[in-house]
Amino acid sequence: MTDEHEAQRPEDDAARLGLVVVGEAAALHSGDEAALDASEQNIRDTVDEMIDEPLTARQEQVVERLASAGGTLTAGLSGALAAQTGRSVDDVLEGAARSVVWQQRWADQREDAGGQQRDHQDDDGRDEG
């Protein structure tokens, strides 16, 4: 299809999917049917944006169900953690979303540091200096 997918790093895709799963968990906890429908559409839209070739109908169903199952697990675990710690489910899910974002930032920093280190080495991998 297009080259836009080639520039996308796996860490970025993983972070996007992680946030989609947290969104699904939040929708499940809300009990709001409209929020759940919006979350399921978000799953479909996110997957469609990430793939280089159209999925078969079966593949699409599997991916959507995996994301939904991840949201269900996240909802259950966040509910249990909230009950155990005396915090709200919203606080727990917000923390999960923050963790996903921070993990992506750390991946960016590692990649940037690796690029800078390569810039300071000669063709044989020795430091120029």
Encoded tokens for 3: 């080259």
Confidence of residue 85 (pLDDT cuts 50, 70, 90): very high
Q: What is the mean pLDDT of the chain?
A: 86
Instruction: Say what the pTM is.
Output: 0.77
Predicted confidence at residue 128, as pLDDT, reads 58
Average pLDDT over residues 105-124: 72
Whether 20 is covered by a domain: the verdict is yes
Predicted confidence at residue 96, as pLDDT, reads 95
HSE-up (13 A, CA, CB side) for residue 15: 16
Whether 127 is covered by a domain: the verdict is no
Whether 126 is covered by a domain: the verdict is no
Whether 109 is covered by a domain: the verdict is yes
Single out the residue of 119, 74, 126 nearest to residue 96, CA to CA: 74
Domain count, the chain: 1
Write the pLDDT tens digit of every residue in 29-81: 999 999 999 999 999 999 889 888 888 999 989 998 999 999 999 999 999 99
Q: What does residue 127 show for φ and ψ, rounded to 5 degrees? A: -60, 135
Predicted confidence at residue 2, as pLDDT, reads 46
Residue with structure tokens 């109908």?
A: 57
Per DSSP, the three-state class of 127 is strand
Q: What share of the chain is helix, strand, coil (3-state, %, to 5)?
A: 80, 0, 20
Whether 129 is covered by a domain: the verdict is no
d(CA 3, CA 84): 46
What range defines the domain where residue 26 resides?
Answer: 4-119
Whether 31 is covered by a domain: the verdict is yes
Share of the chain above pLDDT 70, in %: 83
Q: 81-98 in b/e burial notation, b at 16+ Cβ within 10 A? A: bbeeeeeebeebbeebbe
